[in-house]
Each structure stands twice: as structure tokens, then as C-alpha cells.
Structure 1
Amino acid sequence: MRTIIIATLLASSLSGCIVTSGNALVDAVGLVGSTASSVRAMTPNSVQNPIVYSKDPIHEVCIEWNGSVALSDFVPGLQGELQKHGVQSRVYDAGTQSLACPVTLSYVGYVKWDTKVFTDAYTPYLTYAALTLRREGRVLGTAQYRLGSFGQDKWASAGDKLAPLIDALFPGNPQVADNSPDNMRSAANGF
């Protein structure tokens, strides 16, 4: 009870308007509910319905180009995440796959447009993605990403959104060290 009183006093000392009910229990329940919603909103969305039939390591994948996914960083983000798992990739047009590449990855993605805070320019963002991994036509695994209603990762890069899907589809490929300049700079600064 003392914690609730202290929290109420601290909250009321902040500048701005605060409405209290006069009942500490009601205020505490509201505070807990608000905190739980805020924490849930900050967590990234997880993989939706991953199904993986093979846990064998895969070293090379051919990505089937899908021109209907109008997001410029989708395929580069996908290739970057594959590379983090030690998987080399190349892109081919649908219907032109060579026999030299037995493992293929096809994708579907839905994009919406909205304005970011403090700007009037519309920017695309990924709301849904589905990846299907095949070996010689046989499905090895599928995974989906869906932007949730509280998704704080709305403006995250396609690579960040696809990372959990690649992790799920390639369980036999441990993630190799990320030596990208951005990651090295973050490691040197301690965050």
C-alpha cells in the first residue's frame, strides 16, 4: 500500500494533468493495466505459425523474386538475415530457376503506407510476410510475420521484421557473428 501512495505522489509531482479517482486501489489497477499495455506494445512481434520439417543446415538458397512486394529493402533485408546464418543467396525471376539450386525460398509480403511522426511524407512499411522454404519442390518449412495492433516495430526495417522468420526456418544454421559496421559501432559504444 505504501508503494501505491509513493507512486501516486511521484506521478502527481510531474508536470501536466493527472486525474485520480480518489480510490488508491482503482488507481493502482489502472496503473498496472497501463504499464502492462505499454510493455506489450514495446515487445517485437514473434513468428506466427512456424512449421519446420527439416533441421539440417542449409548453405545456399535461391530466392524467387516476387515483384508484387513493393518494398525496396525487403530482398536486401532477407539476404542480410540469411547471411547472418551463413546462408549464401541469389535471386532469380519466377519460373526461371536453374537446376543448380535445389533449395528455394519464396515470399509474400503486404505493404501499407503511412506518415511518420513530424513528417508529411508517406512511407511504406511491412505489415505481413510469409516465407516458404523448399528443397526440390518439397516444403521444408514456412513462417509468417504479422504486424500486431500494438506493434511498435511498425517502422522497423524489413530485415528486423524478417529476422525471427529466418531464425525459425534455419534452426540447423547457428547465427554467425554480425560484423557489420553498424553492429561494430554499437558494440564499441557499449549499446
Structure 2
Amino acid sequence: MKKFIILTALILSGCATTQVSPLNLNANEKIKRICIEHNSRVVVNGFEDIVINRLEDNGISTETYIKGNKPSYCEYSIKYVAYQKWDFSMVLTQAELRLYKRDSKIADAEYKLHAGGLLNPTKYKSNESKINPLVDQLIGK
């Protein structure tokens, strides 16, 4: 009975989780610039700007490019997706960031709001409060 109550509480709470495979650089490596592939299908308000601002807060310069036109000097790049839904306001339900060195994925991070967040009041927090820690974890900060 106790397990049933705990399971029911977890389902109703609709928790949010993050899953990260962080960047693991050699001691002498440092990322100075990350190019970000603009995803025109992402309509989450300010998502790309949040990622850019957080990277720059961490001392990494950024540049955006259109898919298929990545500048040859971009050693590191990020591709992203993000989804939202209406729940009295737009709520971020999922975001995924993938960091590449040339064409090899070297780190990724995902935020996911389970069960639509049902009774989870944190779902109404700002997108920055959800994405900034994700970016930090992605780059190993």
C-alpha cells in the first residue's frame, strides 16, 4: 500500500528531470567559441538567446548559423530542440542540447517535464531557470 501511495504521488506531481552526459575535456583544452545551429522550428520564447547568454556568461563566445552553412572554423557546435505546451501559459516541456566537436557528439543534456507537470508548480518558472543549469552542466561548469 505504501508503494502505491508513493507511486501515485510521483505520477501526480509530474516531476521534471534532467539527464546530462557532460563535456569531458583534457586539462589543456578550453572551448573559446561555440557555433549554434539555429533551429527555426523551435518556438519556445527566447530559447536560443538563453543558450547564447549562458554560454557567454561562462566566457564562451557564440555565433549562430543556418543548418547546412556551418562555418569551417567552427570546431565546436550545438544543435538543439525544445518543445512547449499550453497550461494557462506556455510551459517548457522538453529541451535537448547536443554539443559536437567537428561532427562527433561529445556531450548532451536534456530537460524533461514528465506527465505535463500535472501538479508541479515549478513548471511555471522561467525558461532561464530551467535552461541555464542545463547549459552549465553540458559544458561541465
Same-fold status (TM-score > 0.5): yes
Q: What corresponds to 1:103 in structure 2?
A: 76
Task: Give structure 2 stretches of 5+ with no counterpart.
Answer: none
Give the 3-state SS of the residue equivalent to 1:142 in structure 2: strand
1:156 matches 2:122 = no
Q: What corresponds to 1:170 in structure 2?
A: 139
Q: CA RMSD in A?
A: 2.5
Report if the CA contact (8 A) 2:23-2:139 is conserved.
no
> 1:53: Cα distance to partner?
5.0
Which amino acid in structure 1 is aligned with residue 18 of structure 2?
V
Task: Report the TM-score when normalising by structure 1.
Answer: 0.58
Q: 1:143 to 1:102 in 2, by over 3 A?
A: same
Matched pairs, number: 127
Bigger relative contact order (CA 8 A; separation at least 6)? 2
Task: Report the TM-score when normalising by structure 2.
Answer: 0.77
> 1:83: Cα distance to partner?
1.7
Find the aligned partners of 1:90 and 1:151 in 2 and give their Cα distance.
Answer: 35
Please, which of 3, 22, 40 is the counterpart of residue 52 of structure 1?
22
Which amino acid in structure 2 is aligned with residue 164 of structure 1?
P
Find the aligned partners of 1:162 and 1:63 in 2 and give their Cα distance.
Answer: 15
> 1:46: Cα distance to partner?
4.6
Which structure shows the higher strand fraction?
2
1:136 matches 2:102 = yes
Larger Rg: 1
Find the aligned partners of 2:42 and 2:91 in 1 and give their Cα distance.
Answer: 11
Which amino acid in structure 2 is aligned with residue 47 of structure 1?
T
Which amino acid in structure 1 is aligned with residue 21 of structure 2?
I
